[in-house]
Structures are given as C-alpha cells and as structure tokens.
Amino acid sequence: MKRSARILALGVIAASSFAGLARAQTVEMQALAAAANKEGELLLTWSSDSLGGPEGAGAFEAAINKAYGINLHIAWTPGPAMPYVGNQIATTHANGLPSPTDVYLGFSRDVASLLKYDLFLSAPWQQYVPDRLTDAVVEKDTYVKNTSATLGFSYNKKLAPSEPKSLADLLKPEWTGKVATTSFGAGWDQIAATDAWGPDRAIAFAEKFSKQVAGFMRCGETERLSTGEFLVMATDCSDGPTGAAIRRGAPLGRAIEPTVPLVSYFYLAVPKNAVHPNAGKLFVAFSTTVEGQKIIRDQTVTDLHLFPESSEGKRIAAVEKESGIKFKSADIDWQIANTAGNAAQHKIADIISHAK
C-alpha cells in the first residue's frame, strides 16, 4: 500500500472510531458536553506524576474536544500530595471560596477521610456512559474509580544489593540505609488491615523497618530511585509512576506484595465549589471510556482493573495465579471499616518519622 493510501486508511479508521463514540453518546452526555463547552475551561491540580501531569492533560483536552465536537481548554497546574489538595478543597469550601481544582484526584483513604465534609457533587453518572459508569465503578453516586492500585514497592534493579521479592526482604542488612518511604505512612493502613497482616504484626514489622529507612520521598519521585539516592521505595502507592519511568528507560523494577492481597483505587470527584462543574463532570465521565482509559494507560502504564481491556487486571490476575490468593477490593467503604488498620497506620507513621 502506498504511503498516501496508508495515511488515508488510518484517518478513516480514526474518524470512524470517534464517529462510533459520537453515535454512542447518550442525550445526557451530549447535554453535559454542551454545558462544559459553555464553561470553556477546566482547572486541574495534581502532581506531575498523576495521570501524566501536563502531557496527560493535553492528551485529554485533544481527545475530549474531538470526541464531543467542543472547544474546552484544560489548564493543569502542579499540586501537592493528594491529602493536601483535599484539605485545600475543604478549606475553600468552608470559607465560600472556589476550589483550586475542578476535579479532585484522591486515593481511597483520602476520599474516606473527606466524606464527613460533604464536599463533592453527586451526578447521574450511569446516564452519561451506561456501559462503563456502573455500580462497580461509581460509589455513593459521587466518587468514580479511575485507576486501580496494588500495594508494593519499587527499586533500582541495577544498584539493588539483592532482588527483593517481599517487604520482609528489606529487613536484610544489605538494605540498611538504602530505603525510602513516605512521611505519612502510605500503604500501612492496608498492611495493618485484618485482611492482611493485622495491626500487631504490622506495628512490630514497622519497628524493624524504620531502622532501615534513610529518608522520605513522594510516591512519584522515581528519579530519586533512578539516580541511586535511594535504592527502594516502600511502599510506593501504586505501579503507575514506576511503570511510566520504566517505559522512559529508567532501570527500575516493581514487586507486588503478595501477603497484602488488596486492590485499592484512585478516585475522581467534582468539588461542590468547582469553578467549572460541568467540565469537571465531563472529564470524569470521559476518563472511564475506552479512549480515556487508554490515555491513562499510555501515560501511567496502569488503569482500572475492572474494565475488560485493562492491563492492570492482567497483572493482578498473574499475581493471583502465582500466589494462589484472591485479591479483595479495598474501596471507600472498606477504608471506613478498616478502623484497626487506620489506627495502626497513624502509629506506624509516627514510628517511622521519629526513627528518622
């Protein structure tokens, strides 16, 4: 096939794909897109390693505008860690000020902690994308699962003194002074859950683990592993940042901790004080489509494991097969019920921070 004919064929395929998406749009989705177009802009604030940062925002802008025939500008600005953005939304809402972001991206534990403040809008999500925004994906008519997260750790494959396969391996002498963790104890609420190790075992392990820690880093700061500043990050919140770094050529590896068989989630929600609420809802809904999930997967190497095309689902299935353990869903309600694990997490965060 000649080059010109090949380009034309690809163009036809792409056009037919978006035409199919347009035909599949519900009346409610069309109305939402029109309302978002009137608002004209979408403000997003999260870290550069979340959903691809500025590159991801640009990809979403192009795809959304093409899919719905609108002209929506997405303005992304780098933000602090997810719990702090949640606090900013709560503070601005309490003081009658606009939210710093039209869409909140938060981990299941972050979302659970914010429930009591009633900060986010409910919406008829399933009417927007009926085959994707199901009850398994939307919680409490408000919070939409965006990506799945397994508990594990990331490490420098070239410089590691040995290949770690479990958290227990990081207690070996050769890892002393080479370990990084988060300052707020990310993941320890799951490790300490009764579905995993339980509080007593987790706290006892943390006492030993804290002696191995050389410093703190954010979950997405994979360059600090690549340069050898630290050789392992435990735990690392999810495989998204490390997977993206590996795709860029970073000498990193990641292991899922098989003794903590839980799948957590990152959620999207639209603040009640959002400046552009309809644009926010459109972004959230589109992120669950096949096209939206592909953008996320291309940017972060992860996605929502509940969808049939999911790459994360395949990774989880492989670990389940190897370990013989079925993973459980650690959603918002699970986080609320995980009182023992949450209490232990606070103790463990204190143990680690004081050890440093």
Q: What is the pTM of this model?
A: 0.85
- Residues 79-106 have a mean pLDDT of 96
162: its two tokens: 């040995």
Q: Which residues pair with 149 in a beta bridge?
A: 264
Give the whole-number percent of the chain exceeding pLDDT 70: 93
Reading the block at residue 247, the tokens are: 């795709």
CATH code, 26-149+264-311: 3.40.190.10
Query: What tokens does 289 get?
Result: 């489509």
Q: What is the pLDDT of residue 95?
A: 98
Alpha carbon distance 217, 221 (integer Å): 7
- The domain locations on the chain are 26-149+264-311, 151-263+331-355
**Phi-psi group of 177: left, alpha or beta (phi > 0 → left; psi -120 to 50 → alpha; rest → beta):** left
The 3-state DSSP class for residue 330 equals coil
User: Locate tokens 């006492």: which residue?
Assistant: 207
Query: In CATH terms, are 26-149+264-311 and 151-263+331-355 the same topology?
Result: yes
Query: For tokens 């191995």, what's the residue?
Result: 212
Q: What topology is assigned to 151-263+331-355 in CATH?
A: D-Maltodextrin-Binding Protein; domain 2 (3.40.190)
| pLDDT score recorded for residue 16 | 40
**Whole-angstrom distance, CA of residue 232 vs CA of residue 251:** 12
Mean pLDDT of 28-49: 96
Task: Please report the pLDDT score of residue 220 as a whole number.
Answer: 80
The closest alpha carbon to 29, from 130, 114, 152, belongs to 130
In whole angstroms, what is the distance from residue 63 CA to residue 289 CA? 11
Q: What is the pLDDT of residues 118-177, one digit of tens each?
A: 999 999 999 999 999 999 999 999 999 999 999 999 999 999 999 999 999 999 999 999
Pairing of strands 73-78, 41-46: parallel
Continuous segment of H or E residues that includes residue 339: helix 339-355
Summarize pLDDT for 218-244 with one digit per residue, the tens. Answer: 888 899 999 999 999 998 877 778 887
Across the range 20-47, mean pLDDT stands at 88
Q: Is the pLDDT of residue 5 over 50?
A: no
